[in-house]
A = this chain, B = another copy of it.
Amino acid sequence: MRIDNLQYANWSQKIFRQMREGRVDAVHVTIAYHETFRETVLNIEKWNRYFTEFPDLIMHAKTAADVDRAKATGRTAIIFGAQNPSPMEDDIGLVEILHSLGLRFMQLSYNNQSLLATGCYEENDPGITRMGRQVIAEMNRVGMVIDMSHSADRSTIEAAELSTRPIAITHANPKVWHPALRNKSDEVIKAVTDKGGMLGFSLYPHHLKGGTDCTLTSFCEMIARAAEKFGAASLGLGSDLCQDQPDSVVTWMRVGRWTKQTDYGEGSAQSPGFPPMPTWFQDNRDIDNIAEGLNRVGLSTEEVAGIMGGNWRLFYQNSFAGQSDQ
């Protein structure tokens, strides 16, 4: 089982074919950054067209069983997620509506303060808001995973505590390896994994030691250290691959409609665009390089199989159904 639990590509037949070439069984795709509910629905409509157009390459997955079916029929399962709670606007009823439409991951905040939680770029983090507590309970009820990848530390720790079901950091790396603002302290990772949650390792160059020049060995050694600390069963991949996107998209991700000024996020005025990916992970066809790298740094076959996809699959199985259906 090979699962990449975070991509946001400029989707095309070419990319779906590469998913098949890499034998990637499931991809969690971002369908909304700053979109409203109606705009998110338009994005789902676009995905529905892809599913109709490329039924031999991809299929929509709402359950772990759908992922198994995709694997059995030689297709890649597509799981919907949002990087921001903007699709639910200020309406808690939309959590269940979005779940019905297939949304399985939702970040409680993206860099900034949201109605629910604080983002990692804010100076102050007052923790989960009043509405945030209600929405966490509702996400727990319907089976939508709380993703804290772009949230601030206190909010993340509180979310892990408040949630009755395991939560996730779908795409980030340990700060001890590379001290990027978006990477996570051991304390934050432990708060998530101690309660059965997952950490997905990011391949976005700003999250990598040495950036684009990060070596596969360094990346895999970082994972081996994380496995010792947090347990290999809590780990997976969330590459953050933004393949074929024009630089205008990274601007949209950072700026949305919340400011009229330029915000470079993890970039800078000197390099405002998407950074080039490492040579050993250019696209979905390269996913097995990581499995090989993990083998070389001494992880067991079973641990590697889990990190490459088995752990996410089990997490999906425990996370995507409603509480009353369990």
Contact = CB atoms under 8 A, between A and B. Distances in A.
Interface of A: 37-38, 41-42, 44-45, 48-49, 55, 91, 93-94, 96-97, 100-102, 324
A97 B96 CA distance: 14
A65 to B, nearest CB: 15
B97 A41 contact: yes
A214 B218 CA distance: 84
A41 B100 contact: no
11 contacts: A38-B38, A41-B94, A42-B93, A45-B94, A45-B97, A48-B93, A48-B96, A97-B101, A100-B101, A100-B102, A101-B101
Nearest to A45: B93
Residue among A44, A94, A96, A102 with most chain B CB within 10 A: A96
Nearest to A93: B45
Contacts of A93: 42, 45, 48-49
Per assembly, the copies of the chain total 2
A96 B45 contact: yes
Contacts of A37: 38, 41
Given A45-B91, A45-B97, A48-B96, 17 more contacts: A37-B38, A37-B41, A38-B38, A41-B94, A42-B93, A44-B97, A45-B93, A45-B94, A48-B93, A48-B97, A49-B93, A55-B324, A97-B101, A100-B100, A100-B101, A100-B102, A101-B101
A93 B102 CA distance: 15
Contacts of A42: 93
Contacts of A45: 91, 93-94, 96-97
A97 B55 CA distance: 18
A85 to B, nearest CB: 16
Contacts of A91: 45
Contacts of A96: 45, 48
A324 to B, nearest CB: 8
A254 B259 CA distance: 45
A48 B94 CA distance: 10
A44 to B, nearest CB: 6
A138 to B, nearest CB: 10
Nearest to A48: B96
A55 B49 CA distance: 35
A42 B100 CA distance: 14
A93 B91 CA distance: 23
A41 B38 CA distance: 11
Nearest to A102: B100
A183 to B, nearest CB: 36
A250 B137 CA distance: 38
Residue among A42, A45, A55 with most chain B CB within 10 A: A45
A66 to B, nearest CB: 13
A97 B324 CA distance: 24
Contacts of A100: 100-102
5 smallest CB-CB distances across A and B, nearest first, come from A45-B93, A48-B96, A100-B101, A41-B97, A100-B100
Nearest to A101: B100
